[in-house]
Structure 1
Amino acid sequence: MEFFQQLLEANGQFQYQAKSFSLKLPGGRVRYHWNEVSTIFGGQDNEVSSGDLYVDLFFKDGSQVRVKEEMEGWYRFLKELVAHFPGLEPDWDIDISSPINQSNLTLLYDKLKRSMPRALEDCYDLPLI
Structure 2
Amino acid sequence: MLWRKKVNDKVELTESGFLITCDEDISEFNWNEIDKLIGFKIDRFTIDGICLKIESEDKIAFITEESEGWRNFMNELLKIFPEIEKNWEAIIAKPAFERKETELYCRTRNVH
**Normalising by structure 1, what TM-score?**
0.71
- The DSSP-based 3-state class of the residue aligned with 2:27 is strand
Distance 2:68 2:26 in 1: 14
Distance 2:49 2:105 in 1: 20
Unaligned segments of structure 1, at least 5 residues: 1-11, 115-129
1:107 alignment counterpart: 103
Report matched runs for 1:1-129 at 5 Å. Answer: 13-61=10-58, 63-113=59-109
CA RMSD of aligned residues (A): 1.8
Q: How many residue pairs get matched? A: 102
Q: CA deviation at 1:109?
A: 0.5
Compare the two structures and name the one with the higher helix fraction. Answer: 1
Letter in 2 for 1:41: I
1:52-85 CA distances to partner (integer Å, 9 max, x unpaired)? 0000011022x10011112122111211111111
1:123 alignment counterpart: none
Letter in 2 for 1:54: C
Task: Give identity over the alignment, percent.
Answer: 23
- The DSSP-based 3-state class of the residue aligned with 2:48 is coil
**Normalising by structure 2, what TM-score?**
0.81
Unaligned segments of structure 2, at least 5 residues: 1-8
Moved over 4 A (4+): none
Compare the two structures and name the one with the higher strand fraction. Answer: 2
Distance 2:65 2:12 in 1: 16
Distance 1:14 1:70 in 2: 10
